[in-house]
């Protein structure tokens, strides 16, 4: 995947909308990091590997670029134990941008008030 992303990246600026079954940032993107430290999707190895992939592919997490320290901003909640109502979730949905179009980034909005799934929509705003 990295090789293909790198090949495309050389030719054009890219935006990737992706559901990632791993949470790579840690404490700010997960409601209960301590109790999930060994959970699939949140192991140290997964977080480290994804962070390395972003660096090597020269991609930027658009939400964290604009909100580096924001807590409680999740895109997924399990249906169990009223987790969504309690905002006990994970941020698993991302827009990844080519570093070269980072300056065009205006907003990455998490629409947590939109129901219909265990995930909520995310919206990316860019300027030309």
pTM of the model: 0.80
Q: What are the tens digits of pLDDT across the range 51-63?
A: 888 888 888 999 9
Q: What average pLDDT does the segment 97-104 reach?
A: 91
Is residue 90 exposed (0-12), middle (13-18) or buried (19+ Cβ within 10 Å)? buried
Residue 2: pLDDT band (50, 70, 90) is low
Q: What average pLDDT does the segment 99-106 reach?
A: 92
For the cut 80, the answer to whether the pLDDT of residue 6 exceeds it is: no
pLDDT at 70: 93
Distance CA 48, CA 42 (A): 10
Domains in the chain, start-ordered, CATH in brackets?
A: 2-126 (3.60.10.10)
Distance CA 109, CA 44 (A): 27
Q: What are the tens digits of pLDDT across the range 14-42?
A: 677 665 655 556 668 888 888 887 888 78
Distance CA 60, CA 65 (A): 7
For the cut 60, the answer to whether the pLDDT of residue 4 exceeds it is: no
């Amino acid at each position: 995947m990295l090789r293909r992303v790198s090949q495309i990246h050389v030719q054009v600026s890219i935006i990737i909308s992706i559901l990632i079954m791993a949470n790579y940032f840690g404490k700010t993107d997960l409601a209960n990091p301590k109790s999930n430290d060994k959970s699939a999707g949140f192991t140290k190895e997964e977080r480290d590997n994804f962070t390395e992939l972003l660096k090597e592919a020269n991609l930027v997490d658009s939400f964290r670029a604009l909100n580096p320290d924001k807590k409680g901003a999740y895109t997924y909640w399990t249906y169990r134990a009223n987790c969504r109502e309690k905002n006990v979730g994970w941020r698993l949905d991302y827009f990844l941008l080519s570093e070269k179009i980072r300056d065009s980034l205006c907003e990455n909005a998490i629409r947590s008030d939109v129901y219909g799934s265990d995930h909520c929509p995310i919206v990316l705003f860019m300027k030309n």
